[in-house]
Every structure is written in structure tokens, then in C-alpha cells.
Amino acid sequence: MRKEDFELLSKILKERSGLVLSEDKVYLLESRLTPIARKKGMETLDDLINEIRLRRKEDLLREVTDAMTTNESFFFRDNTPFDLFKEDVLPALMKNRANKRLRIWCAAASTGQEPYSLGIILKEMETQLSGWKIEIIGTDLSQDVLDKAKAGIYSQFEVQRGLPIKLLMKYFTQAGEMWQISEDIRNMVTYKPYNLLDSFGMLGKFDVIFCRNVLIYFHQDTKADVLNRLREQMPEDGTLFLGAAETVLGLTDKFKPVSGKRGLYKTSEYMTQALKAG
């Protein structure tokens, strides 16, 4: 790929999604964008790039951005955050929310595995949670992945990554070669397209925010900005989950990691008070 082509694409992706593409990711551009070129009846990726350069058509730019920002996801990915949510975060919230309302945000919902994993956990605790009103909002930049999330239909490969067989039996039905998650669980999640670079004001406050494995694609200053704005979307005792390879260190003072609870972050105010309380 020519240098000016790479620069054009990486500039578009940075502007539209915050995605930072280093030059060693040329192969990713080629492998993900060539199918789009083919679909449009073009011979090569170069033709697609020329089309982008000449016309900058909105739907083509969106399609390109979607293709580059979509990531593979699986049910109960990394296990630990879901265990912590169930055994640590949720019991505390059940004690501290007299109005019996909870709002959870999956900020990089992708094809739905993360919000549905949370939905399954909550469904399994139905008895303890009777009388509670719990909202799960799943957002993603890409409308395509959200359409897939809403349908809740997964391949045999996808339902075998992270999902115990007994939960598959309980919450999925087979449709040919595919598996669909039950309507019960689907109805627990509301999906909206949302760009993490945009203002979060519209979304309201959340008790728990999952923002895993998406900041890694951003520049340092974008990461810091997103983290600072996520803080504004939660009360002082809110909880943030980041991916296993992510950190707030050197990015923001608004969140602190909780020792022994990998990937779980609390607000600085909360941690200061917890420290005082001993």
C-alpha cells in the first residue's frame, strides 16, 4: 500500500472513530477493506481508495470505519470481570440502591456477547433481584455489529468461546447451523449506535460501565479524555471495568484500580473515602 493511501485511511479512521492505526497494521487494512472493494464490484483495494479520495461518500466512509473498528468478542470474555460483577459489584449495589434501580452501560458492546453475558448473570439471579429494574445499554460505533447484537444469532464457534454448555442449553435455541439467544435475554438489552468521541450527556448516569478493549485503539490524549468523561457518567460509588491489558495509570486521576480486583476501577473520591473509613 502506498504511503499516501495509508495516511489517507488512517486520517479518516482517526477523525471518525479515534482509532489509531500504526504502519504495521497495513495488513489489517488490506484484509478488512478488500472484501468491501469486492462487494462494490471493484477490482482492487486501490480502486476503493481512489473512490474514497475522489468522492468521500458518507456511507462508504462509514462502512470502511465499521470494518476497521469491529473486533471479535466472546461470551464471558476473560471471566474475571463477570465474576467480580456478580460477586462484588452487584451485592454492594443491591445494598446501596434503595430505589432498586440499576443502569449498566457496555460502551463497546460489539456483537452483544458482553451485554448478554451480563443479562444471563442477572437472569440467573432473578429471585434475589425480584422487584429490581435493571437497564443494560449497549453502544457501539458500528450499526452493523449492533444489528447482529440485536438479532442475537451466533455461529457454533461463537457460542463455544466462553459460554458454558449448560447456559447454552438454557438460553439458546438452535436455528440451523446458528444459535439464537432467547428473547428474554435479548429484551434485557437496549442497543444504540454511539461514538465514544461524542458527548455522553444524552446517555445519563450509570452504576456500572464496561469499557473493555476499546481504549487500546486510541491515542493517549483520546484515552484520557474518554476516561475523564466516563467519570462524569457515574455516581461516586460507580464502577468502571477496563480490559485486562488496559490501565488508567498516567491517563487520569479520576479512577483508581482496586487491588486484587483486576480490571475493576472505582472513582478517586470513593477510594479516598474507603481509605478513611479503614
Note the residue count of the chain: 278
**162 vs 257, beta carbon nearer other proteins:** 162
Q: Among residues 25, 62, 123, 161, which is the contact residue for other proteins, using CB under 8 A?
A: 161
Q: Among residues 168, 178, 203, 271, which is the contact residue for other proteins, using CB under 8 A?
A: 168
CA–CA dist 132, 219 (Å, integer): 39
Per rule CB under 8 A, is residue 128 in the interface with other proteins?
no
162: cell is 466462553
Q: 116: which residues sit within 8 A by CB, 6+ positions away? A: 75, 152, 181, 185, 186, 189
**164 vs 193, beta carbon nearer other proteins:** 164
Asked if residue 182 lies in contact with residue 173, where contact means CB atoms within 8 angstroms, the answer is yes
- Closest Cα partner for 65 from 6, 116, 15? 15
Per rule CB under 8 A, is residue 257 in the interface with other proteins?
no
Question: What sign results for the dihedral spanned by CA atoms 220, 136, 241, 234?
Answer: positive
How many residues bind to other proteins according to rule CB under 8 A? 14
Question: Which span (59-67, 156-164, 206-214, 246-254) binds other proteins, by CB under 8 A?
Answer: 156-164
Q: Among residues 2, 3, 95, 166, which is the contact residue for other proteins, using CB under 8 A?
A: 166
125: cell is 439471579
Per rule CB under 8 A, is residue 165 in the interface with other proteins?
yes
If you search the block for the grid coordinates 465474576, which residue do you land on? 83
By the 10 Å C-beta count (0-12 exposed, 13-18 middle, 19+ buried), 3 is classed as: exposed
Q: 9: which residues sit within 8 A by CB, 6+ positions away? A: 21, 29, 33, 49, 52, 64
CB of 126 to other proteins, least distance (A): 22
Per rule CB under 8 A, is residue 154 in the interface with other proteins?
no
Per rule CB under 8 A, is residue 42 in the interface with other proteins?
no
Per rule CB under 8 A, is residue 169 in the interface with other proteins?
yes
Q: Among residues 128, 143, 174, 272, which is the contact residue for other proteins, using CB under 8 A?
A: 174
Q: Which of residues 61-100 bind other proteins (CB under 8 A)?
A: 74, 79
Per rule CB under 8 A, is residue 157 in the interface with other proteins?
yes
Q: Among residues 156, 190, 220, 272, which is the contact residue for other proteins, using CB under 8 A?
A: 156
Residues that bind other proteins (CB under 8 A): 74, 79, 156-157, 160-162, 164-166, 168-169, 173-174
